[in-house]
Amino acid sequence: MGGDHGPESVVPAALRFLGERQDRRLILVGREEAIRAYLPGSARSDERIEIRHASEEVGMDELPSKALRGKKDSSMRVAIDLVKQGEADACVSAGNTGALMATARFVLKTLPHIDRPAIITAIPALKGQTHMLDLGANVDCSAEHLFQFAVMGSELVRAVQDVRSPRVGLLNIGAEEIKGNDQVRAAHELLVASSLNYVGYVEGDDIYIGDVDVVVSDGFVGNVALKASEGVAKLIAQMLKRRFKRTLLSRVSGLLALPVLRGFRDEVDPRRYNGASLLGLRGIVIKSHGGADAVAFEHALRIADQEVRSRVIARIEREVENHLGEARALLAGPARVSA
Amino acid sequence: MGGDHGPESVVPAALRFLGERQDRRLILVGREEAIRAYLPGSARSDERIEIRHASEEVGMDELPSKALRGKKDSSMRVAIDLVKQGEADACVSAGNTGALMATARFVLKTLPHIDRPAIITAIPALKGQTHMLDLGANVDCSAEHLFQFAVMGSELVRAVQDVRSPRVGLLNIGAEEIKGNDQVRAAHELLVASSLNYVGYVEGDDIYIGDVDVVVSDGFVGNVALKASEGVAKLIAQMLKRRFKRTLLSRVSGLLALPVLRGFRDEVDPRRYNGASLLGLRGIVIKSHGGADAVAFEHALRIADQEVRSRVIARIEREVENHLGEARALLAGPARVSA
């Protein structure tokens, strides 16, 4: 197990998860000794927990290609192999994102008709939540890639959120005469002509409103949008803290407002949103934030569980088959592209 | 005058501005009658105020090309013509961004060696503020464009903020093995080899930390980052409001915390950051937010004033000349590109 904290947060997360979900089993992959050190006596006889020793670890800054070639017995690789072999239904890792994506793609392969996997996560919004992809796996995306992301994101939301017809938006900017770049405009054409519930272009602020269920963009734009958002949230938290600490009076008012401020903090707690799915693979792989504590990592485990139970992979595979037929017909016959 | 409010917010903003800056003059461009309606009697004899009638207006949703060709007597066009003719030192508009950019570019032209103007604005950060460009004028940018933006942004900050050697960062993502796309990586090479104070790649959250003075990106990414940030800020404000209104107790604690919350609101008030510069033109053009009220529009006027006083255009012209020599030498001789 990787991430910044390793078994120190993963093992307690596993125990919390099993405490709530009685009929699940977990295979803890990593250095056996290190894992045992965090397992309380009571848990050692729990038949739902299995330890699978892996002798290596992928460093958080290690080059993905190096990890992939050089570390055949890393906890990451062993965990993904378990999914490939059908021993596990999903893999959850707090390790190096690039290495996780490269290894998962190499071992599991992408689904038929999917060129590239994408990273998707739920984001809090004024009305519920929004799912956004890609968040950094693909820096340059063609219109077809963006279309594939839309199909996968839509089906994920349909599966795990029980939304009958998820509203899909394509991220764009409003300033230009002919909006967006070539890829985005071509993806728009594909989406307009598809049977997805495509609502059209959305802008950066729409992510946090919640009038669409899925926001599609390339991984460069998606990653910057997400990181910028995190930056603003931290800035606001810091500024509020500073102001409440400024004078005796403001300190007192801060103490009195503590229940409200704490409730708010819990509501936007990023741990409650921890767990991004690597979508488009022949298996479920969830990326937890590297700095995840037990609460956050448990949430990532729940997301994996949810995707297993809702049979996300099979559903996406079927939907991709349906929709990519549409797209291919469109791309073949230019006269059929609607505006 | 355009924007959502027209003279209703622009005229009071003009009066506020002149109240603070005794030695400035303003030419108010638009429908004379409409402007006069908002001018109090006391201001009508003020020699620092001149009204220039313009019979047309560019709609907020009008196509830039149509506005440019069809409305030769729009307030926007007349105001930019005044800059071209040397009658005004700067133009400030709350109108349609695309039309403003297209008209300004057509009338004023770009500076020598500048291919495309970019939109730049100051953004609040934990440590002071960050300037970011491009915010939406250019969706696809080559490495050279990004380099030009870096030179212009750096010189703007040096001029208006009196920072001797502004730290410049290039917006990128951290997830990929070989970071970023081709353009960003090539721009990185140009920046590393330049004499700018280039600190390297930054990510979305760095915008709000303030360890760099200038963040450079293409207009698609910059626009999405800015809009997403606005979206998060609004979401947080709404959530806090909801929570403080939830129960009698929380309402009371909210009332007691009001001075702190108001102080905070004023600190992050977007009106205090209103006014984006169209950089790279042979003249100063400031874009105010379309929904700007008098306070916000006055801030945009102050930005224009600051740029006039610090002779931003001449300074940028000189710096561009210096730095683009560097870039051209680099692009000509591949052996000289450092890593």
Mutation for A interface: B208, B249, B250, B255, most A CBs within 10 A: B208
B54 secondary structure, DSSP code: -
Q: Which residue of A has its CA nearest to B65?
A: A177
Interchain pair A260, B254: CB under 8 A: yes
Q: Work out the average pLDDT over A184-198.
A: 93
In CATH terms, B119-271+311-339 corresponds, of 3.90.1170.50, 3.90.245.10, 3.40.718.10, 3.40.50.300, to 3.40.718.10
Which residues from B are below 8 Å from A259, CB to CB?
A: 249-250, 253
Separation between Cα atoms, residue B212 and residue B200, nearest integer Å: 10
Per-residue confidence (pLDDT) for residue A333, from 0 to 100: 56
A 163-202 → B contacts, CB under 8 A: 171, 173-177, 180-182
Distance CA A113, CA A333 (A): 19
Going from the C-alpha of B177 to that of each of A67, A228, B98, the distances in angstroms are 11, 21, 36
**Which pLDDT belongs to residue B261?**
83
Q: What is the mean pLDDT of residues B241-246?
A: 85
Position B42, amino acid = S
Q: Is the dihedral of CA A313, A286, A17, A28 positive or negative?
A: positive
CA A166, distance to chain mean position in Å, is: 17
pLDDT classification of A337: cutoffs 50, 70, 90: very low
Contact A260 B243 (CB under 8 A): yes
Question: Which residues of chain A does B207 touch, with a Cβ-Cβ cutoff of 8 Å?
Answer: 228, 231
Give the chain B residue whose CA is nearest to the CA of A254. Answer: B257
Condensed to tens digits (0 to 9), the pLDDT of residues B283-299 reads 999 999 988 999 999 99
- For residue B36, the one-letter residue type is R
Side-chain half-sphere exposure of A93, counting CA atoms within 13 A:
31
Q: Which residues in chain A (24-63) have CB-CB distances under 8 A to chain B?
A: 63
pLDDT at residue B332 in the model: 66
Q: Report the run of H or E that residue B305 belongs to, with start and end.
A: helix B294-309
Predicted confidence (pLDDT) per residue in B17-28, tens digit = 999 999 999 999
* Contact assignment for B102 to A204 by CB distance below 8 Å: no
CA-based nearest residue to A297, from A5, A13, A60, A6: A13
Q: Give me the pLDDT at residue B16, please.
A: 95
pLDDT above 80 (res A327): no
Q: What is the mean pLDDT of residues A251-266?
A: 82
Give the 3-state DSSP-derived string for A173-222, with helices as H, strands as E and coil as C: CCCCCCCCCHHHHHHHHHHHHCCCEEEEEECHHHHHCCCCCEEECCHHHH
Output the pLDDT for position B333. Answer: 56
B249 touching A (Cβ < 8 Å) = yes
Q: Are B219 and B171 in contact (CB under 8 A)?
A: no
So what's the pLDDT on residue B331?
A: 67
Distance CA B225, CA A76 (A): 32
Chain mean position to CA A26: 20
**CA separation for the pair B315, B317 (Å, rounded):** 5
* CA B156 to chain CA mean position, Å: 11
Q: Which long-range contacts (CB under 8 A, 24 or more apart) does B5-10 make?
A: B5/B94, B5/B291, B5/B292, B5/B293, B6/B30, B6/B34, B6/B57, B7/B31, B7/B34, B7/B35, B7/B37, B7/B38, B8/B38, B9/B94, B9/B292, B9/B293, B9/B294, B9/B296, B9/B297, B10/B94, B10/B294, B10/B297
Q: How buried is B60 (Cβ within 10 angstroms: 0-12 exposed, 13-18 middle, 19+ buried)?
A: middle
Is the pLDDT at A335 greater than 50? The verdict is: no
Residues 280-339 of chain A whose Cβ lies under 8 A from any Cβ of chain B? none
Segment B178-207, tens digit of pLDDT: 577 889 999 999 999 999 999 999 999 999
- The pLDDT value recorded for residue A35 is 93
Size of interface A-B (CB pairs under 8 A): 210
pLDDT in tens, B148-168: 999 999 999 999 988 999 999
Predicted pLDDT at A175: 52
Say whether residue B255 is in contact with chain A using an 8 A CB cutoff: no
Given A65, A171, A254, which is nearest B177 (Cβ)? A65
CA A239 to CA A295: how far, in whole Å? 26
Task: Decide if A228 and B219 are in contact by the 8 Å CB cutoff.
Answer: no
Asked if pLDDT for residue B334 goes beyond 60, the answer is no
Looking at the complex, report in whole angstroms how far the Cα of residue A132 sits from the nearest Cα belonging to chain B.
12
Mean pLDDT, range A188-210, rounded to an integer: 94
Give dist(CA B48, CA A129) in Å, integer: 52
Picking from A84-88, A226-230, B1-5, B294-298, which range would have the lowest pLDDT averaged per residue?
A: B1-5
Check B236 against A235: CB less than 8 A apart.
no
Please say whether the beta carbons of B285 and B313 come within 8 A.
Answer: no
Per-residue pLDDT, B61: 82
Provide mean pLDDT across the span B62-87: 92
Q: What architecture (CATH level 2) is domain A119-272+311-339?
A: 3-Layer(aba) Sandwich (3.40)
| pLDDT, tens digit (0-9, with 9 covering 90-100), for B295-330 | 999 999 999 999 999 999 999 999 998 887 777 776
Would you call B247 an interface residue with chain A, using a CB distance cutoff of 8 Å? no
User: Given this model, what pLDDT does residue B335 score?
Assistant: 46
Distance CA B140, CA A221 (A): 13
At residue A237, the pLDDT reads 85
Would you call B201 helix, strand, or coil by DSSP? strand
Contacts of A189 (CB under 8 A, 6+ apart): A143, A330, A337, A338, A339
- Chain B contact set for A260 (CB, 8 A): 240, 243-244, 246, 250, 253-254
| CA–CA distance, B79 with B29 (Å, rounded to integer) | 6
Looking at residue A241, its pLDDT comes to 86
Query: Which candidate from B226, B228, B250 shows the least CB-CB separation from A259?
Result: B250
Residues A125-158 pLDDT 10s: 999 899 999 998 888 899 999 999 999 999 999 9
B106 touches chain A (CB under 8 A): no
Which residues in chain B have their CB less than 8 angstroms from residue A177's CB?
63-65, 98, 102
Q: Determine, for residues A230 and B206 on separate chains, whether the beta-carbon distance falls below 8 Å.
A: no
DSSP B224-279: HHHHHHHHHHHHHHHHHHHHHTSSHHHHHHHHHTHHHHHHHHHHH-GGGG--EEEE
Read off the pLDDT band of A109 (50, 70, 90): very high
CA distance B5 to A326: 46
pLDDT, residue B338, reads: 45
Q: What is the pLDDT of residues B111-148, one digit of tens each?
A: 999 999 999 999 999 998 999 999 988 888 999 999 99
Tell me whether the omega of the peptide bond preceding residue B134 falls within 30 degrees of 0, making it cis.
yes
**Cis, bond preceding A134 (omega within 30 deg of 0):** yes
| Residue of A227, A230, A251, A269 to mutate for B, most B C-beta atoms under 10 A | A227
Q: What is the mean pLDDT of residues A304-313?
A: 96
Q: Is the pLDDT assigned to residue B279 strictly greater than 90?
A: yes
Least confident of A267-276, A291-300, A308-317, B284-293: A267-276
Task: Share the mean pLDDT of chain B.
Answer: 90
* pLDDT computed for residue A155 by the predictor: 96
> Which residues neighbour B11 within 8 Å (Cβ) at sequence distance 6 or greater?
B28, B35, B38, B39
Tell whether the model's pLDDT for residue A334 goes beyond 80.
Answer: no
ipTM summary value: 0.87
